[in-house]
Chain A
């Protein structure tokens, strides 16, 4: 599906040079579809007069853009200094032990995924995490399992 033409035009119009709208347009697509689809890439390339490969090249530089449909519950745990010192590694290990899902993996039914991320500027809440993009903390093993399980059950 192509991006909403009005919204896309509005975003492009904010910048002196259309290409500056690249990241915002990719965000627009990811917000709508949960990830950056082939259609979004093609549409963005067309609107900005870029080659598809060029869009892909920029897109792959930025770790927050997803190229596959996300799980319904996404837990991203910070592994940087303050959070690691406060046990984020142990939490991830515990989650893996109980669910079989390690960092960078999704559950078999696609209900949830676990990721590690670098510092998210929430060190005062270490171990900090993002749950479906919302920043929070401190995370405990129980809380992590509850977040993942709770939504998983809710889906059934």
Chain B
């Protein structure tokens, strides 16, 4: 079974060094593309591969690229390395441990889309990642792999590593462009979509770093090779970040379609000794919880949708019997209230109200009717009323928790101590 494509060699080799990366076959895909393939050929391989975006929604990469207008204007590529979803930390590993793979993928995507400039946007907290990636770009530039006339060809591209400065919303595709333009990270109205009018009003593609890293293998081995890995509609591998109550939290690259159970029980070593799984948030704080009964669901975009959750960026937060559904909801609400950019009323006001209600429930001061109030807030904020999906994200887990564990919310309405915490105490006695 093919498992490690993107993380192959990590932990064994210092892939941050260009010579090491090259000795292991690195930049051969770029060489192949520039010497034997047209941009259209590269595009066709990506199309054949059926590669879907790893940043959340699973949009077809080639489809997105195909919506670029043929009008001769400059085009830009933005690699989304904002990675601020609570529970996601796979991009950080790629950036810190395999920066040349990310870079080579970016060069190939730029070649396929006829772009002369790439911006790699990293969240501000990635100090180390920014240093490593900047060094990798400089090293590649010295070797003639970045800049004008790459490997002696007609193709040239500039790569800029750009750091954010602390704002979850800047991972949203239009906020990232505003931020890159030196503005506050407020999402834009759509349409126009970025491929029509993006950065500086020019056609722009925004892809997640992991999406782009996959392009290297696709060009090296062919789109058909990639398309044959895992499920037909969600091919390839996915780096899953597992955290929370497991014995071995960490990043695990799995073949798409691997059951969630295998990821948790085998890769992540199972639950901490003596504890039982209660639920999983499979795509970070923004996703609907998955109950133990659905643990055999294959990890791919469509299967996860079919159980009314999502694969998203696969930041898997594992919770056990010690974790109160209300507590987790409170932590999430605090995050979304903090991160709302404030542009849309349902999100700006609603995230604050949600936090306030959950705060009092969490702190023994819940009031009768609070559960119903939360339900009303979910209806009021959700349903795509806002400019971006942050508002919807803020109620996705909450809504699922309200329907899976209503009794925990109702108990917290009474203003007493947390029943889950009390049960844990009894068990520990």
Interface residues of A (CB under 8 A from B): 14-17, 19-24, 26-27, 48, 57-58, 61-65, 79-82, 84-85, 117-126, 130, 133-135
Interface majority SS on B: helix, strand, loop or mixed? mixed
Q: Which residue of A lies closest to B74 (CB)?
A: A16
Q: A81-B332, A118-B339 are in contact. Are A124 and B250 (CB under 8 A)?
A: yes
Q: When chains A and B are docked, how far (Å) is the Cα of A61 from the Cα of B169?
A: 11
User: Told that A26-B165, A135-B128 touch, could you supply 8 new A-B pairs with CB distance under 8 A?
Assistant: A21-B182, A62-B124, A81-B317, A118-B84, A119-B85, A121-B84, A124-B250, A126-B249
The answer to whether the Cβ of B180 comes within 8 Å of any Cβ in the partner chain is yes
Contacts of B328 in A (CB 8 A): 81, 85
Q: When chains A and B are docked, how far (Å) is the Cα of A63 from the Cα of B88?
A: 20
Q: List 20 A-B contacts (CB under 8 A).
A: A17-B200, A20-B162, A20-B182, A23-B163, A23-B165, A23-B179, A61-B184, A62-B164, A62-B167, A81-B332, A82-B317, A85-B245, A118-B339, A119-B84, A121-B83, A123-B317, A125-B249, A126-B243, A134-B128, A135-B128
Q: Which chain B residues (79-103) contact chain A, with CB distance < 8 Å?
A: 83-89, 91-92
Q: When chains A and B are docked, how far (Å) is the Cα of A55 from the Cα of B339?
A: 21
Q: When chains A and B are docked, how far (Å) is the Cα of A32 from the Cα of B312?
A: 38
Question: Is the Cβ of B125 less than 8 Å from the Cβ of A130?
Answer: yes
Contact with A along B328-353 (1 / 0, CB 8 A): 10011011001100000000000000
Q: When chains A and B are docked, how far (Å) is the Cα of A98 from the Cα of B55?
A: 42
Question: Is the Cβ of B285 less than 8 Å from the Cβ of A81?
Answer: yes
Interface residues of B (CB under 8 A from A): 74, 83-89, 91-92, 117, 123-128, 158, 160, 162-168, 179-185, 200, 241-245, 249-251, 281, 285, 315, 317, 319, 323, 328, 331-332, 334-335, 338-339
Q: When chains A and B are docked, how far (Å) is the Cα of A123 from the Cα of B251?
A: 10
The winner among B166, B243, B317 for most chain A CB atoms within 10 A is: B243
Q: When chains A and B are docked, how far (Å) is the Cα of A63 from the Cα of B285?
A: 20
CB distance from B136 to the nearest CB of A (A): 16
The winner among B126, B128, B166, B250 for most chain A CB atoms within 10 A is: B166
Question: Is the Cβ of A82 less than 8 Å from the Cβ of B87?
Answer: yes
Question: Is the Cβ of B331 less than 8 Å from the Cβ of A62?
Answer: no
Contacts of B281 in A (CB 8 A): 81
Question: Is the Cβ of B89 less than 8 Å from the Cβ of A17?
Answer: no
Q: Which residue of A lies closest to B330 (CB)?
A: A84
Q: Which residue of A lies closest to B248 (CB)?
A: A124
Q: When chains A and B are docked, how far (Å) is the Cα of A14 from the Cα of B118?
A: 11
Contacts of A16 in B (CB 8 A): 74, 117, 200
Q: Which residue of B lies closest to A78 (CB)?
A: B86
Q: When chains A and B are docked, how far (Å) is the Cα of A2 from the Cα of B184?
A: 24
Q: Which residue of B lies closest to A44 (CB)?
A: B182
